[in-house]
Chains A and B, each alone.
Chain A
Amino acid sequence: MFDFLEGYDLLGAFWVTVQLTVYSAIGSLIWGTLLAAMRVSPVPLMRGFGTAYVNIVRNIPLTVIIVFTSLGLFQTLNVSLGADDFTTINFRLAVLGLIAYTAAFVCEALRSGINTVPVGQVEAARAIGLSFPQVLRLIVLPQAFRSVVGPLANVLIALTKNTTVAAAIGVAEAALLMREMIENEAQLILISAIFAVGFICLTLPTGLFLGWVAKKVAVKR
């Protein structure tokens, strides 16, 4: 029944999906945190940049960004991100696109986390003479991080699903393999079911686990 699977590297494709997710998650966490820091900073220019970035990037389809990295950055401007072969170049471009897009959502998640800290906490901290870095480090961020696990988990799961968009520029991940398989093999329903289950295995446990963590660490108010 499953002999049509021969010749296809199913696990390899899902492994690329996982790699895309992990690299993009790390990158967007870093870039998103920087953006969030800019959006709450006392410097108006940085605030403006952060706001503009988030509002623009969130409203552009990820597909447009990913296709642009290939057609625009690579083929027109010859940005190859230090790689030589097409597989690596496309993979890195996809990660770059995913980071640029996901960071906007990470930034908003972090900012909403900062906003859950009651104003009184900050006022009390300032009243006892703590400086801005101290207020952030000792009072705001420890509380904000705990309330931000849930929203960040949502972003991570959305990212996992979004990695399929990388198929648009030929990164050999799960969705691209699925398209190849349904073109060449007859068992449409079975193939689709396999890929669906593959993604459920990636997203559902992550959602349940991180949902549990979020509930456990959340500040009870």
Chain B
Amino acid sequence: MTNVLYDVPGPRAKRRNLLYTVVFLAALGVLIWWVVLSLADKGQLEWSKWAPFFTDSRTWSTYLLPALENTLLGAALAMVIALPLGALFGIARLSDHWWVLGAAGTVVEFFRAIPVLILMLFANAAYSQFTDISPSSRPLYAVVTGLVLYNASVLAEVVRAGILALPAGQTDAAKAIGMRKGQTMTYVLLPQSVTAMLPALVSQLVVIVKDTALGGAMLGFSELLASVRPMSANYGANTIAGFTVVAVIFVALNFALTTFAGWLEGRLRRGKKSTGAVVGVDAVEELATPGEHVGQAEETK
């Protein structure tokens, strides 16, 4: 799309673009120069601060890999628990009974409107007051609970959108051969909607992975972000190096997931066998917003 905004550049446009490039490059250069200078000024560029990540395998085996494992464990548990819950609420929001509809709608709207951190703090305190889960495993429980409560409500909307995206002919055909409502849902609609919502699910997984870091900062969950402090204490205040490595791991992981989601979406949209129904990567933000509804969102497109 963007390439139709302007014509193929002629000689004057080319000169102008070159000028912009040079000016932009200069600005970028000044910024990078300032960053490098201030880093060097504080001694953050010394090789001794970066060496632990490249020459010492213990940095990885003691700090980074166990932390990454916790991040992935938290995210995976949250996804696995939130998905069936979300499916349940998503289907409940399509119910014909007003009381099921109302109850499920209220729950979904409630948890979509609250920050995950509030849910995590609540879960953490609730576990310490009402259960005897050991303090060492409590952060994981709290993080997963908070993530499940929030993401189940987002996934409920994803599931609902996935089912609504299917062609109406599917329901009609199921009715025509005499299927009940439950049968239509379990044999016809749900299996097809799973394929349709795969891109959105993978995309939501990125959100979950990112939110695990909240537990590290606020609840003492020993995930990637929380590994920066002990590393910095152990390897001579290499805060900048630590943050850089952790950020690179997060970007690599999430970028892979995002790319995979985009690839899945493209495959589904091009595919000839599928119904062409897709809940896209871009839809997730919308579905995570309280007060938004699938039907209304479709109209604005």
Contact = CB atoms under 8 A, between A and B. Distances in A.
Contacts of B212: 61
A10 to B, nearest CB: 14
A19 interface: no
Nearest to A217: B300
Interface string A45-64: 11001000001101111111
Contacts of B246: 64
Interface string B245-274: 011001101110010000000000000000
B5 A132 contact: yes
A119 B5 CA distance: 9
B258 A132 contact: no
B115 interface: yes
A207 B4 contact: no
A46 B300 contact: no
Contacts of A68: 243, 247
Interface in B156-201: none
A43 B21 contact: yes
A136 B5 contact: yes
A154 B289 contact: yes
B216 A200 contact: no
Contact of A45 (B25, B126, B218): B25
Interface string A160-194: 01111101100000110011001100001000100
Size category of the binding interface on chain A:
35 or more
Q: Which of B113, B211, B301 has the most CB of A within 10 A?
A: B113
B292 interface: yes
B290 A43 contact: no
A218 interface: yes
A162 B217 CA distance: 14
Contacts of A215: 296, 299-300
Given A61-B225, A64-B213, A119-B1, A72 B288 contact: no
A27 interface: no
B17 A203 contact: no
Contacts of B109: 204
A15 to B, nearest CB: 16
Nearest to A178: B121
A39 B1 CA distance: 12
Contacts of A150: 286, 292, 297, 300
A157 interface: yes
B115 A199 contact: yes
B80 interface: no
Overall SS of chain B's interface: helix
Interface in B220-251: 225, 228-229, 232, 237, 239-240, 243, 246-247, 250-251
A77 B42 contact: yes
A181 B150 CA distance: 22
Contacts of B110: 196, 200
A114 interface: yes
Interface string B100-127: 0000000001100111111001100110
A42 B282 CA distance: 25
B131 interface: no
Nearest to A71: B239
B145 to A, nearest CB: 13
Interface stretch (B6-14, B53-61, B133-141): B6-14
Given A43-B17, A123-B4, A204-B109, A77 B39 contact: yes
A175 B126 contact: no
Given A60-B210, A164-B117, 17 more contacts: A61-B214, A62-B210, A67-B217, A68-B243, A75-B239, A76-B44, A77-B44, A112-B282, A154-B286, A154-B292, A157-B290, A161-B114, A182-B122, A196-B110, A196-B114, A205-B291, A218-B299
16 contacts: A42-B6, A59-B258, A60-B247, A76-B44, A77-B39, A78-B42, A114-B2, A126-B6, A150-B300, A151-B285, A154-B288, A161-B114, A196-B110, A200-B290, A207-B291, A215-B296
Interface of B: 1-2, 4-7, 9, 13, 17, 20-21, 24-25, 28, 38-39, 42, 44, 109-110, 113-118, 121-122, 125-126, 129, 206, 209-214, 216-218, 225, 228-229, 232, 237, 239-240, 243, 246-247, 250-251, 253-255, 258, 282, 285-286, 288-293, 296-297, 299-301
Interface of A: 39-46, 49, 55-56, 58-64, 66-68, 71-72, 75-79, 105, 112, 114-116, 119, 122-123, 126, 132, 135-136, 140, 147, 150-151, 153-155, 157-158, 161-165, 167-168, 174-175, 178-179, 182-183, 188, 192, 195-196, 199-200, 203-208, 211, 214-215, 218
Q: Closest 9 CB pairs between A and B?
A: A207-B291, A59-B254, A61-B213, A168-B217, A61-B210, A63-B213, A161-B115, A208-B291, A164-B115
